[in-house]
Each structure stands twice: as C-alpha cells, then as structure tokens.
Structure 1
Amino acid sequence: MMKAGVVQMTSSADPSHNMKALQASLHRLSEQGVKLALTPENALVFGGKQDYQRHAERLGHGPLQQQLAELAHHYDLWLVVGAFPIQNDNGMLSSTSLVFDNAGHLRGSYDKLHLFDVEVADAHGRYCESDYFEAGDRLATLDTPFGCLGLSICYDVRFAPMYQALRAQGADIITVPAAFTRVTGQAHWETLLRARAIETQCWVIAAGQCGEHSKGRQTWGHSMIIDPWGQVVASLGSEPGVTWAELDLSMGESIRHKMPVLSHTRLQSQLK
C-alpha cells in the first residue's frame, strides 16, 4: 500500500505565487503520509508565450527546478510536476513533466507528445500550443519504489494507444496532469480518465488546473484518483485543494491476471 496525492491549483504566470501555493499543498499532503504527489499541468507558469519563454529553464538546471527539488526532499515524497517549460538545445521549448524523488533528485522527465491545437466554444476560443511548444517524440516510464510510473500530459488522454503502450512498457500507475478547459472537461474529463484506467488496468492519478485564468481561460478542475477497475476513489470539485488515496498495486496485478487484456490484443506489435 502506498498513499498518493494530487494538488489542484489556479495557477497564474507568476512562479513565486504559484510556488507558495504548491508548498502549502505539499505540506498538507505530507501531513497525511502521502509519498507520491502530482501537480497540474503548468503548475508554476500558466500564461502566454512570453511567460513560458521568460521562465523556461534547461532540464535539470535553474532556480525553479531547484526549489521543486527542495520541496520534494523537505516533504520526503516523490513529486511529479505536471508540466514545466523546458528550453531545449535547439532553442525551442517543451512542455515537460518532471519527476523528483524524495531526496530531491531529478529522476525522469517526459515531453508532451500531443499538443492542444483546437478551437473550443469558450471565452478564450482558439488554443494553439504548437505556437510556443514543440512536441515530444518518446514515451516515458520510470521505475519507483511504488511501481512503474507512466507519464502523460493533458491532451494525451484522448489518445488511447499511447496508454496501452505505457502499460506494455510496464506502467502500474499513470499520471495525467492537466489544464482541461471547462467546456471540454465537463463533457469528457472523467469519462476519458476512467476509460484509460479500465483499458490499461492501471491506477490513474489526474491533477487539474481549476478556475479563472488570464485571457479568458477557464479550467475544469475535478482532479481524481481512479483504481484499475475504473472506480473513482478520491476526487475534488472546482476549487483549489488536495486529495489523496491509498494505492494497492496488487489490485492491478490481480485484475490483469484474471482479465489479461494486453495479451489478448490483436495489435500487440503496434503497442511497442
């Protein structure tokens, strides 16, 4: 058994303000014995192109990543930072999940594969992440003391083959940090997350942005933790906060033994 937690935030373009909110949330989770915590997408910087460019850092370097490492160490937990602007060698930015262990070491990262270039019927209207981020080109799984983590970000959740591939690589727990719009979140968020848990037979931990942001952006919130049978075992509403649940990894193993979905697929070669 292991206790995992999610942080739900209303982040802005100001990293110092967001960092204080994150620290307070991690303090609450630490008091509950949480050993794995997930933040939303864009937890420390949530704004426009210039904001991401201003605060971007090289992977594993920079004051913001150092502060995140110190938080993980201080609160003695593994910290998955949903997405952070990373400057690559070619000068482009990636939207990158960062995984720090409880000693504060950066143990893994994942560059968002699927960029959110869509039109939504809300006040913001058009979203085009490819204007300021470049897409990643690889899956990312990471062994931890709690099992194998499969990393994803927000819009990825609409692409089921990616999650089947993460399970094929050994994932026991899948993280879905997000900044789902209020419109798409109300329609699809929980349905997509539960489907990903059911089809992979993995625990799914999903942390969302919530509330009102700059430029008319509204996010859905409703962070949740879902078991490998597809049941929501912890959830939040539309306000900032934290929640947590105990994860029994033997549950996934038992379900996969009784219903070996992955070995039954006729598309095995395409999931590797």
Structure 2
Amino acid sequence: MSRNYKVAAIQMVATPQLEQNIVTARRLVGEAVQQGAQLVLLPEYWPIMGMQDSDKVGIAETPGSGQIQTFMAQLAREHKIWLIGGTLPLASSETGKVLNATLAYDPDGQQIGQYDKIHLFSFTKGEESYDEARTISVGKNVTTFDAPCGKVGLSVCYDLRFPELYRAMGPCTLIVVPAAFTYTTGKAHWEILLRARAIENQCYVLASAQGGMHVNGRRTWGHSMLIDPWGTIKAVLPEGEGVVCGEIDEAFMQNVRESLPALRHRKL
C-alpha cells in the first residue's frame, strides 16, 4: 500500500427525495476529490430518509441494476476513486422488506464488495421509537475488501455496538462505519464506540454520518470523523452536510501495533 493515503467521509442531511440526494452526494463527493481523497465513504440511508420507514422499500433495487447503483458506479469511474456507497435498499426475499446494503466500487466503477447490515437497530425512549426489523432483513456475512490503503472492513451504524463483528474481519487497515445515529444515542455513545473500535483493532476508523434535522422530523447526530489507531480523532464535522478528510499513515499504524502488540496478545 502507499505509505499515506487520503480518505474522506461525506456527511449529509438526506431528504425523502432520491433525486435531491443524488445531486447532494455528487457535489460532496466532488468536494472530497478536490481535497485529494482517493477513497470516499457515503453515509447510511444517503439515497432516502423517507417520511415513513416503508418509503425505502418503494425505491429498492435488484442487485446489479437501478438508478442508485448506476450513479455510484459512474461516480467512482468518473473520479477514479474507491467509493463505498453508504447504504441503499436492495430487494429482499422477505415481502415488504429490504437489505440495508453497503456496496463498494473500484476506480473502474466495478462493484468489488457487498455488505448487508447484520445488526438491526431498535430503540424506545418516551415518544422516540425505532425498529429497523419492520422493514429490513438481517444480513449474514462479514465483508472486507483490499484497496491500495490496505484491507477495508465494512460495517453499518448499529453494528458499532458489537465488537465481535470487527474481530471476525481479521486485522484491517481501515474500518468504515456509514451511519444514521439518532441524536439521543449519538450524543451518548457515538464517539466513544468509534474510538474503542479503532483502539482495540489498532486501525483507522472512518465514520460517515447523517447529521441534522431531516424533513421527516428525525434528528441525526452527525459527527462524521476519522480516527487513528491510537484512538485520536484526526478530523470531525459536528453537524450539517460536508466533507471530513484525512490521511491513513501506514507507518504510524505499524508503530502502534509494534509498541503495543495487543493483536498478537489475543487469547480468544
């Protein structure tokens, strides 16, 4: 891998309108590329944050075809970047449900990875209530792929609370976490969980979030960030749409792993 490699996370405040979100994603990815990003991560649910949970079922695509997948492949090819497409709804075998899928593309626009979200979020506190299992089917497979920066592990949002998923990936250079954390849970747990995953896996973590008040009344936490293998936040965007950029430094990661060889000390 190259010794220093620039990556970027896109932060959005997605709307119920697919076309509007595509325009925003195109603009922000362009900004990331202008800043030198070679790998770009979109947030969870970037194509749609509907008025109802079922709205995403209505725009679900079949694997390999559809407006959203075509757009992402073209975007990767146009900018010659590695693009990790946050999540989009892909058709599921379960009636009325979708897979919340992350697709990764190489600089030729070829899909080189798919991860379907395994852990489905539910939360109830007062009048605030969510249950992803109503419209999303559970994914099954741990997914990684190799990029010029090294091995990249794919995860989504609520997965962040389950460290065994990241252990199952094996040692990675970069773990990505596209997310739409609620304001309530994000304020309490987002940063500490991201930093913990970086520290315990001694790798970089790039988190791309929804961040603001959405048309549907939902408020997401934002705070897209890049964290290094020592747990230091290298860049962060608290709220609103924008780009978070930073470098992956292979030598720094190797120094951390040599000075504190925790990965070699594992017993279980």
TM tier, shorter chain? over 0.9
Matched, 1:97 2:102: yes
Compare 96-105 and 258-267 and name the one that shifted more.
258-267
Paired residue type of 1:200: N
Question: How far apart in 1 are the matches of 2:177 and 2:125?
Answer: 21
Contact kept in structure 1, 2:224 and 2:238, CA below 8 Å: yes
Is 1:156 equivalent to 2:163 in the alignment?
no
Kindly indicate whether residue 86 of structure 2 is the aligned counterpart of residue 82 of structure 1: yes
Give the match for residue 121 of structure 2.
Answer: 116
CA contact (8 A) 2:38 2:82 kept: yes
Offset at 1:185? 0.8
Matched with 1:219 is: 220
Q: In the aligned structure 2, how far is the partner of 1:49 from the partner of 1:205?
A: 26
Report the residue type matching 1:115 in the other structure. Answer: L
| Alignment length (residue pairs) | 263
Contact 1:120-1:183 within 8 A present in 2 as well: no
**TM-score scaled by length of structure 1:** 0.93
Look up the SS of the partner of 1:99 in the other structure: strand
- Bigger shift: 208-217 or 20-29? 208-217
> In the TM superposition, what is the alpha-carbon distance from 1:216 to its structure 2 partner?
2.7
Q: Which moved more, 1:43-52 or 1:131-140?
A: 43-52
TM-fit CA distance, 1:97? 0.6
Equivalent residue, structure 1, for 2:112: 107
Q: State which of 13, 23, 27 in structure 1 corresponds to 2:26.
A: 23
Could you list the per-position Cα deviations for residues 98-157 of structure 1 after superposition, in whole angstroms to 9, with x for gaps in the alignment? 101111111101000100022145x6x110000000111111111112211000000010
Residues 31-56 of structure 1: CA deviation (Å, up to 9, x unaligned):
11110011110011222333111111
51, 58, 61: which is aligned to 1:54?
58
1:165 Cα shift? 2.1
Q: CA deviation at 1:89?
A: 4.4
Which region of structure 1 is more displaced relative to structure 2, 44-53 or 220-229?
A: 44-53
Residue correspondence of structure 1 range 242-253 to structure 2 within 5 A = 242-253=243-254
Whether the 8 Å CA contact 2:204–2:228 is kept in 1: the answer is yes
- Conserved 8 A contact 1:8-1:40: yes
Work out the CA distance in 2 between the residues paired with 1:107 and 1:252: 25
**Corresponding residue number in structure 2 for 1:270:** none
Which residue is 1:44 aligned to?
47
Aligned partner of 1:14 among 14, 17, 30: 17
Query: Is the 1:173–1:203 contact (alpha carbons within 8 Å) kept by the matching residues of 2?
Result: yes
Q: Which amino acid aligns with 1:182?
A: Y
Q: What SS is found at the alignment partner of 1:263?
A: helix
- Shift of residue 257, structure 1, vs aligned partner: 2.3
The change in CA–CA distance for 1:12 and 1:120 in structure 2 (over 3 A counts) is farther
Distance 1:61 1:259 in 2: 46
1:189 corresponds in structure 2 to 190
8 Å CA contact 1:224–1:235 kept in 2: the answer is yes
